[in-house]
Amino acid sequence: MAPVAESKPRVLLVEDTRSLAVVYEQYLAQDGYEVLRADCGQQALAQLLSSPPPVVLLDLELPDMSGMDILQQITEQQLPCSVVVITAHGSVDVAVEAMRLGAFDFLTKPFDGKRLCATARNALKHQQLSSLVAQYRENFERSSFAGFIGASMPMQAVYRIIESAAPSKATVFITGESGTGKEVCAEAIHQCSPRREQPFIALNCAAIPHDLMESEIFGHVKGSFTGAQGDRKGAASLADGGTLFLDEICEMDLDLQSKLLRFIQTGTLQRVGSGKLETVDVRFVCATNRDPLLEVKAGRFREDLYYRLHVIPLSLPPLRERGEDILLLARTLLQSYAKEENKRFKDFDAEAARVLLDYPWPGNVRELQNVVRNIVVLNDRELVSPDILPPPLNGSRASLLAAIPAAAATGSGAVVVANAPIRPLWLVEKETIEQAIASCDGNIPKAAALLEISPSTIYRKKQGWEEASLA
């Protein structure tokens, strides 16, 4: 199979004077560009909207419209293009105005081939850098990650810690208020780790009676205590090769803490009632809603165990510190529960959105889930208004501030239909984007706003689909 030739960078040359266009095209072709030509504004716009090239050489004087109008369209549509305007001699003021409107550079006639090619190269590098910046921004400003939903800066920091810590075997110590998603975080660490194919075992130390905790962690043999009808593996043995998550670890008795410390140090355990040592390989993740250092100072948590576990600290922010994440989460939950309950709900109105943002959410995400579930189960309409919010939200403000723009539903919280055919993710994404563009009458910035992505992302994906279809 012959190697695929590297594609040439594309340049759209918008010039109505044929003799000049031919000369410019020869210069650019010799410098390694694929040149697309347009001799009028309408032809240029059609080319730009169908497949925008990275560089546009734009003559401002065209037979059917001003080049400024085309430049304005490129700017308003946020097309991923670097525009170099071509002006007549003595029109520097016009060129400056063009750069104010978004042009990258300008050329004043007459100019030689060397100047033309150098300017085109600079414009191409500028666009490549802009695309790279947009891609990095998209990657580092994620609205969801491994079970989490949230685009706020505190959550971006959480995502990066999870990604960095997951490949390691180092213990992660998660702190956060009740309802912030500590178990979701532990599962995310496991799913992003090389142990993802092995068991993830979660154990809530606050939900198990103290006299049974040792057996739950390490297991027991038959007859070791009243009710031990047979041998039983504990959570540590069940998690062999995978991840053991100990939630609310500060609730563990001191004598059991010493046994856990020995297990962590040696990698061996003894079942209750057995003298046999077992070797297991587990990655520890633990969590607490308390301040572990205060528990150490109070003598309720072993200091040596704390330092053994507190290798990679990860603090989950409370919901009240996550800003617009509240609305993002609420809308996702609303759409999900509405489908589950076969209700009409689509969004929150401006006043209800303001109430959600103003409420302190002491129960964090768990409380928000309960509130949205309550709304969906007890009501049925398209928009949530303050009058159907459950207590205490329905009396949280005497007067409400308006004008919160409501984003359209994107389906990000959609419930997967059982037995539905599974399609490639790129195809689902492509269809969703194309549907959004069609519903917005071809307005890509508007479609991007509804999809909560940048227009440059849509253009980049469209170009990738086109290149894939030609391969």
Band the pLDDT of 401: cuts 50, 70, 90.
very low
Taking the C-alpha atoms of residue 327 and residue 404, their distance in angstroms, rounded to an integer, is 10
| Intra-chain end-to-end CA distance of the chain, in Å | 13
Q: Determine the average pLDDT of the residues in 392-405.
A: 46
Alpha carbon 103 to its chain centroid, in Å, reads: 31
Sign of CA dihedral 189, 191, 197, 203: positive
Q: Look up residue 162 and give its two tokens.
A: 């999870």
Taking the C-alpha atoms of residue 46 and residue 342, their distance in angstroms, rounded to an integer, is 43
Q: Look up residue 31 and give its two tokens.
A: 């410098």
pLDDT at site 420: 57
Query: Strands 200-204 and 219-220, how do they pair?
Result: unpaired
pLDDT at site 415: 40
Residues 6+ apart with CB under 8 A from 141: 151, 156
pLDDT at site 405: 32
pLDDT at site 416: 43
Longest CA span, the chain: 100
8 Å CB contact between 254 and 305: no
8 Å CB contact between 278 and 270: yes
Q: Determine the average pLDDT of the residues in 129-136.
A: 74
Question: What percent of the chain lies above the pLDDT cut of 90?
Answer: 48
Q: Is the pLDDT of residue 339 over 60?
A: yes
Q: Determine the average pLDDT of the residues in 219-230.
A: 70
Tell me 205's DSSP state: T
Alpha carbon 169 to its chain centroid, in Å, reads: 25
Q: What is the pLDDT of residues 237-259, one digit of tens each?
A: 999 999 999 999 999 999 999 99
Q: Is the pLDDT of residue 39 over 80?
A: yes
Q: Look up residue 446 and give its two tokens.
A: 């508007």
Taking the C-alpha atoms of residue 21 and residue 109, their distance in angstroms, rounded to an integer, is 13
8 Å CB contact between 339 and 415: yes
What is the pLDDT of the chain when averaged over all its residues?
A: 85
Q: Determine the average pLDDT of the residues in 267-290.
A: 90
Taking the C-alpha atoms of residue 403 and residue 413, their distance in angstroms, rounded to an integer, is 24
Q: Look up residue 283 and give its two tokens.
A: 């990655």
Taking the C-alpha atoms of residue 446 and residue 416, their distance in angstroms, rounded to an integer, is 27
With residue 183 as reference, give the H or E element that holds it. helix 182-191
Q: What is the pLDDT of residues 448-470, one digit of tens each?
A: 777 767 777 787 788 777 766 66
Sign of CA dihedral 381, 415, 140, 455: negative
pLDDT at site 396: 44
Q: What is the pLDDT of residues 145-170, one digit of tens each?
A: 888 999 888 998 999 999 999 999 99
pLDDT at site 254: 93
